[in-house]
Amino acid sequence: MGKIIITGVDGNFGGYAAKRALELAGADKLVFTSPDRDKLRKFETSGAKLRYADFNDAAGLRSAFEGGGTLLLISMPFVGEKRRNAHAAVIDAAVDCGIDRLIYTSIVGAGVEENDAYEIADHKFTEKYIRSKGLNYVILRNSQYAEAMVSAYEEAYSNTGGVLSNNMGDGLMAFVARFDCAEAAANAAVGAGDDNSVYYISGPEAMTVSDYLRIASEVTGNDVSYRYVSDDEMYAFFDSIGVPRTTDGEWAQSAVNFPFCSEGMVTFGRAIRLGQMSNCTNDFEYLTGKKQKSVREIFQDIDKHRIGARTSTD
């Protein structure tokens, strides 16, 4: 039986997924890869095999994936053609190495044809590419990270007079803890879930931004209210605080509370407003045997649920 290969263990998501996989499966079954050799060192004593994997180096990927049976492909953080090319390179290398089961971390809304949010196109492409290669697959369509909204909440409380303005309106989103998504991914990597299936990894309740802020304010004692603004106003706000429009260049370090790009955030908000990303399921519990964290629980333990540093490594 081939090894379980986990990509991107240098990141927040991948690092947590790797640690859980060690607990679930044991080091002898695992291979951890990263495009950053230095960050592989934190797993030196884990017992898992450690391999350098540059998604832009097809030959190197085949070497990194040698002996694999299952591959967890954690979506890259940059957006556009370079991400699609990187994901395709990983999938091609997996096929070349005889890997027969692939787990992919996609996004809620990827199954909605009319959803044209900036980041959705890459996930639609990758899902279709996986299916075209005849691999057994498990696709995990993750809801929006609650941690991203924690950052927006803290930005509003600290810098905008206790008013959070965005373009989501009354759209519903089942905000989910990032590490719950990583937990689901680790469980799927070690065998949970049915082959050739799509699972929606969501929080326990779909809610509006106003609902989210009410819960956050109750827990923290800080009063933050919601104000709807147009898509154009959202772009203008992000421009004003130095958030780049796209993920070209060193986008991840541009604005502390918003380590994303505005094209992603604005079009994501629009899709939520239009009801294209409202899936709320018990799939997390099916894959893990656990209950997902609620927004209330996240704010009760807020220090563990800030978005943290992201990387624009490509």
Residues 203-259 have pLDDT tens digits of: 999 999 999 999 999 999 999 999 999 999 999 988 888 888 776 655 444 444 455
pLDDT over threshold 70, residue 69: yes
Residue 191's identity, in one-letter code, is: G
Cβ distance 153 to 175 under 8 Å?
A: no
Instruction: Give the model's pLDDT for residue 311.
Output: 43
Q: Give the dihedral sign, CA 216/232/279/13.
A: negative
Cβ neighbours, 10 Å, residue 26: 13
Reported as a pLDDT band with limits 50, 70 and 90, residue 306 is confident
Reported as a pLDDT band with limits 50, 70 and 90, residue 310 is very low
3-143+178-201 and 146-173+204-278+293-304, same CATH topology:
no
Cα 188 to its chain centre, rounded Å, is: 15
Instruction: Return the percentage of the chain with pLDDT > 70, whole number.
Output: 93
Write out pLDDT tens, residues 262-303.
888 899 999 999 999 999 999 999 999 999 999 999 999 988
Instruction: Give the model's pLDDT for residue 259.
Output: 55
Reported as a pLDDT band with limits 50, 70 and 90, residue 155 is confident
Residues of 231-259 as b/e, b for ≥16 C-beta within 10 angstroms? eeebbebbeeeebbeebeeebbebbebbb
Q: By three-state DSSP, how is residue 185 classified?
A: helix
Give dist(CA 147, CA 130) in Å, integer: 29
- Which of 262, 310, 278 is closest to 75 using CA atoms? 310
Write out pLDDT tens, residues 115-152.
999 889 999 999 999 999 999 999 999 999 998 889 88
Cβ distance 20 to 183 under 8 Å?
A: yes
Q: What is the CATH number of domain 146-173+204-278+293-304?
A: 3.90.25.10
Give dist(CA 26, CA 227) in Å, integer: 48
Query: Which residues, 6 or more positions from 303, have their beta carbon under 8 angstroms from its beta carbon?
Result: none
Interior CA angle at 307 toward 227 and 250, to 5°? Answer: 100
Q: Which helix (H) or strand (E) holds 87?
A: helix 81-96
Q: What is the mean pLDDT of residues 105-112?
A: 97
Residue 71's identity, in one-letter code, is: L
Give dist(CA 184, CA 179) in Å, integer: 9
Q: Which residue, chain included where needed, has tokens 């002898």?
A: 28
Domain 3-143+178-201 has CATH 1.10.1040.10: no
Per-domain residue ranges of the chain: 3-143+178-201, 146-173+204-278+293-304
Give dist(CA 185, CA 189) in Å, integer: 6
Instruction: Give the model's pLDDT for residue 307.
Output: 66
Write out pLDDT tens, residues 7-51.
999 999 999 999 999 999 999 999 999 999 999 999 999 999 999
User: Contacts from 47-54 at CB under 8 Å and sequence distance 24+?
Assistant: 47/22, 48/18, 48/22, 49/3, 53/7
Instruction: Give me the chain's average pLDDT, please.
Output: 91
Q: By three-state DSSP, how is residue 28 classified?
A: helix
Residue 307's identity, in one-letter code, is: I
